[in-house]
Amino acid sequence: MRLSNYFMPVLKETPADATIASHQYMLRAGMVRQQSAGIYAWLPLGHRVLKKIEQIVREEQDKAGAVEMLMPTIQSADLWKETGRYDAYGPEMLRITDRGDREMLYGPTNEDMITDIFRSYVRSYKSLPLMLYHIQWKFRDERRPRFGVMRGREFLMKDTYSFDIDEAAARKSYYKMFVAYLNTFARLGIQAIPVKADPGPIGGDLSHEFVILAESGESGVFCHSDLLEMAAPGEVDFDSDLSDHVDKRMALYAATDEKHDEAAFAAIPKDKQMSARGIEVGHIFYFGDKYSGPMKADVMGSDGKPHTIMGGSYGIGVSRLVGAIIEASHDENGIVWPKSVAPFGVGIINLKSDNEDTNAVCETLYSQLSKAGVDPLYDDSSDRGGVKFSRMDLIGLPFAVTVGPRGIKEGVIEVKNRATGERQSLTPDAAAKFLISEFTS
């Protein structure tokens, strides 16, 4: 992408209503624009990151055997009346009436609808286990939308729903999602801790939040520090026994302040006690027959008798993650994107956009990197060098290459690593090779 063809409205000033780094940087880098309280337009740069996160989440769901679909944002109130949640949900639900005076709502979640879909088609245990998911916008009329996209009213969620013949099978589905989540967050470049949680309005008796550590986090987190040391499961056979990966984590103490047990925490060896602030980026629930019961979602078992299916739901805050990743990875100059979700791989800074030599080197590098799939953003503007450097730091691409007339005379350009600050002077060819290898290894 050439900056001259792009739309990246960078702000000089930090907007006054943005109090935390991710919100400030997202507004300043021109990633999002608030259109109403808690409702954002995703500008091109933010949209790229959102799509990258969404794709990683999708790939890990697919690996775990979940099947993608898409349900509507607008739902009929009838299903919610059937499960009793229409009244239970309260003012967080955006209620709408259509021209025929029918009660509708903008979906805050989809347990009710997916259970209706399931019961309409699935009749036999032979179709189980089944996991369905979608990545769709939700609306919750939060009392205090804040911190930009982290607590929005309209937000993008990945929600998966599992259907099983009995509790033992349902727990296997829960374990699959648990492992898929560990791998998802690792690929996103963040360390997420599974913490025993309160099921809240979703219901059920088994629930974990996945929390990433950041000073601005809304909840306090207390845990055994070994949880931070464990490597993600990586490639696993999802049909095998996954308890190895899950049980050893569940066995270690981890709680947010709501459920914190001072005595259990004190029992952890002192040097292993960890307390910090955290952001919830995922939440999984096992709720058994909470929805399938009232909605009469039965299937025929191998015993020839009807069984009420046992369900779970599994959420990831896709749009919240854009902010949460920035909270976990930034410095005083701006965002520091993990490679896997960076909007572009490499920034190319042409220090003199009216100079034939720098132009030629930039053009060659731009086409080499583009062909190799590295996705360069070429700053071909006529802005001053200082403006280009600080803008590049702000948007946080993993590498920035500076091409100036002085370096070119000596046959070199400079490659800077955004995360470490390390700089190397390389010939243009060596720079291209190095950068391509960074994104293909």
Report the interface residues with ligand P5A, using CB under 6 A: 109, 140, 142, 151-152, 155, 157, 159, 202, 280-283, 285, 313-315, 317, 319-320
Beta carbon of residue 319, minimum distance to ligand P5A (angstroms, whole number): 6
* Identity of the amino acid at 28: R
Backbone angles phi, psi at 382, to 5 degrees: -100, 15
Closest residue to ligand P5A in the complex (CB): 317
Buried b (16+ CB within 10 A) or exposed e, 332-364: eebbbbbebbbbbbbbbbbbbbebeebeebbee
**Enclosing H/E stretch for 33:** strand 32-36
Q: How far apart are the first and last CA of the chain?
A: 23
**Distance (Å, whole) CA 207 – CA 205:** 7
How many Cβ atoms are within 10 Å of 245's Cβ, its own excluded? 19
Beta carbon of residue 45, minimum distance to ligand P5A (angstroms, whole number): 19
**Distance (Å, whole) CA 363 – CA 127:** 55
Buried b (16+ CB within 10 A) or exposed e, 369-379: beebebbbbbb
Give whichever of 118 and 314 is closer to ligand P5A, judged by the CB atom.
314
Give whichever of 9 and 338 is closer to ligand P5A, judged by the CB atom.
338
Give whichever of 160 and 368 is closer to ligand P5A, judged by the CB atom.
160
**Distance (Å, whole) CA 282 – CA 279:** 9
Give whichever of 157 and 325 is closer to ligand P5A, judged by the CB atom.
157
Give whichever of 327 and 393 is closer to ligand P5A, judged by the CB atom.
327
Beta strands (DSSP E) in 190-288 are: 192-196, 206-213, 219-224, 254-256, 273-288
Angle at 224 between CA 219 and CA 230, to 5 degrees: 105
Give whichever of 283 and 330 is closer to ligand P5A, judged by the CB atom.
283
Helix axes 44-63, 167-187, angle to 10 degrees: 140
Give whichever of 103 and 142 is closer to ligand P5A, judged by the CB atom.
142
SS3 for 72?
Answer: coil
